[in-house]
Amino acid sequence: MPQLNGGGGDDLGANDEMISFKDEGEQEEKISENVSAERDLDDVKSSLVNESENNSSSSDSEQAERRPQTRPDSESYEKTRDYFSEALRRQQDGGFFKSPHYPGYPFLMIPDLTNPYLSNGSLSPSARTYLQMKWPLLDVPGSAALKDSRSPTPGHLSNKVPVVQHAHHVHPLTPLITYSNEHFSPGTPPSHLSPEILDPKTGIPRTPHPSELSPYYPLSPGAVGSIAHPLGWLMPQQGQHMYSIPPGGFRHPYPALAMNASMSSLVSSRFSPHMVTPPPHSLHQTGIPHPAIVSPAIKQEPSGDNISPSMHARKSPVPPKKEEDKKPHIKKPLNAFMLYMKEMRAKVVAECTLKESAAINQILGRRWHSLSREEQAKYYELARKERQLHSQLYPGWSARDNYGKRKKRKRENKPDSKPEDFSIRSKKQCVQYLPSEKMCDSPASSHGSMLDSPATPSAALASPAAPAATHSEQAQPLSLTTKPEGRMHHHFSLPGKASGSTSSSSSSSSSSSSQPTISIPIGTSGSHSTTPILTRPIPFTSLHPPMLSPPSPFHQAALHSHHALFQSQPLSLVTKPTE
């Protein structure tokens, strides 16, 4: 069943489209690289401003324009891929990054860190592994470390959903980011302390499989610090950072401490650079605080600061009652977009003069949509891993726990806001944050990305293989829409389910009312900001349950059909009648 087409994403019949997507994605990178942004910026500006106007037409032209540009990037793209394959190859060779061809990415193993906040010892150790994206990604030689090494699909990945690695089109992250629950088993205590590993869920101690341990030893300290980041391409910027890791940290004999790609990815984003060059003891002895943990006292500044709290906590042998009182703030795991934002923000900021996050975020949002499915899939995958890890680290944690912790994030007006408001707001909001001068979104943005994406990350995942948004989709430029109303969520109503979120009352408001430039955010995942409702013939949901694995051929196939359908059936835009 897996190999329906054997071509992975290519088989979906959207090859050309896929290519274009790639180009787009590349282009963006390129943009960042070659700050030939001048032109890009102009394009973007105009595109952003006029997008809505030129919805349909622009897309084509845009593509046409862009294509030439992007071409050159195909090379880089290939390179990135090469990086991956290279990394993979090494891992598979057992060489395990012996030769650091990519100095930029140090090999990282996470030392034994205990999570001070988890009174329940069962989880603690793994918390340490929750590191940030900026950190080098390290992948544990997948199979080796795993209990089920024989299994083609790492059992640990199985979030119920088997990971299917396409023979020919292996998701880049899949192999690299295998993280195993085993490895990061919350219950994995230092071996010297306890030979047993606690089952994250059951809490029942188990004896670590030898294979779980050994794989990490091979890592030579010398190699550390000069290992290519397997996901470097994923982190254009951060990837460049080199983190010198205290040898001691790597010598740590605990498999659970080894950082695999997924972890690193996860890790990378939430740890501040400070963490990168921490004194050895900080890593090894005090442990790495889970980035998601934020001391209540410390507002929630992730950078650097969050380190201390946890570290302190860790130091105190007994995280006693205080912990309870202080109840650490465990942050939500970052979603795909957030991960993307973290990575790209700096880039965008560099390209533009914009500093305001709101504006940057708008751009990022657009870029996000312009990403190829593959690229998005990477982030979805990372996000999935992060969630997975997070859940392992904090089994009892619920997103609800954080409710109300954030200073009144909601503005009251939302509920209060009346339809009338919408118009006003929307007008004002449009482009508000994208001053003409600063608009620097990538022109490429207009392409649709994943219609289904968020709703079905799976879709996104599947996406690589999945048919790119069809022409119609692609053609629809994303608009910098304005959120009609405060935080009204506008969603496409997909027959199946779109992302968890969904259309809302507001949609009507915007559509009908006043959005000066209403563009159809087709392909936007579950975007909140769009007005028009897109109805699709196909229930994505049926295709993808919450995905946990990289695009499986199955999904691909499904998508394929979906794709076909799409092509034949243009999207129908339906504006939800306002109430």
Partner DNA sequence: TCGCCTTTGAAGGAT
Partner DNA sequence: ATCCTTCAAAGGCGA
The footprint of DNA on residues 474-513 (CB under 7 A) is 478, 480-483, 486-487, 489, 493, 496-497, 499-505
Give whole-number Cα distances, 284 to 97, 136, 247, 272, 305, in Å. Answer: 22, 17, 10, 17, 18
Site for DNA in 310-329 (CB under 7 A): 329
Copy the structure tokens of residue 301.
């500044």
Contact 88, 175 (CB under 8 A): yes
Query: Shortest gap between Cβ of 472 and DNA (angstroms)?
Result: 18
Tell me the window of 32-40, 228-236, 319-327, 349-357 that interacts with DNA (CB under 7 A).
349-357
The conformational region for residue 113 under phi > 0 = left, psi -120 to 50 = alpha, else beta, is beta
- Considering only residues 400, 416, 418, 568, which one is a binding residue for DNA as defined by CB under 7 A? 400
Tell me the window of 60-68, 138-146, 163-171, 331-339 that interacts with DNA (CB under 7 A).
331-339
Looking at beta carbons only, is 90 or 528 nearer to DNA? 528
Looking at beta carbons only, is 341 or 534 nearer to DNA? 341
Work out whether 578 is an interface residue with DNA (CB under 7 A): no
Looking at beta carbons only, is 2 or 496 nearer to DNA? 496
Length of the chain measured in residues: 579
Site for DNA in 9-48 (CB under 7 A): none
Work out whether 342 is an interface residue with DNA (CB under 7 A): yes
Query: Shortest gap between Cβ of 481 and DNA (angstroms)?
Result: 6
Total of chain residues touching DNA, rule CB under 7 A: 85
Query: Shortest gap between Cβ of 568 and DNA (angstroms)?
Result: 23
Copy the structure tokens of residue 345.
């923000």
Q: Tell me, letter by letter, the H, E, C secondary structure of 325-380.
A: HHCCEECCCCCHHHHHHHHHHHHHHHHCCCCCHHHHHHHHHHHHHHCCHHHHHHHH
Looking at beta carbons only, is 89 or 299 nearer to DNA? 299
- Considering only residues 167, 204, 297, 399, which one is a binding residue for DNA as defined by CB under 7 A? 399
The rounded distance, in Å, linking the Cα atoms of 451 and 524 is 6
Tell me the window of 64-72, 145-153, 438-446, 473-481 that interacts with DNA (CB under 7 A).
473-481
Instruction: Please compute, for residue 547, the number of CA atoms within 13 A of its CA located in the half-sphere on the CB side.
Output: 37
Site for DNA in 272-291 (CB under 7 A): 291
Work out whether 160 is an interface residue with DNA (CB under 7 A): no
- Under DSSP, is residue 469 helix (H, G, I), strand (E, B) or coil? coil
Query: Shortest gap between Cβ of 487 and DNA (angstroms)?
Result: 5
The rounded distance, in Å, linking the Cα atoms of 489 and 500 is 11
The rounded distance, in Å, linking the Cα atoms of 24 and 70 is 6
Contacts with 349 (C-beta within 8 Å, 6 or more apart), sequence order: 355, 360
Site for DNA in 402-461 (CB under 7 A): 402-411, 414-415, 429, 432-433, 450, 453-455, 457, 460
Site for DNA in 516-545 (CB under 7 A): 521, 524-529, 541
What secondary structure letter does DSSP report for 533? E
Chain position carrying tokens 């914009």: 354
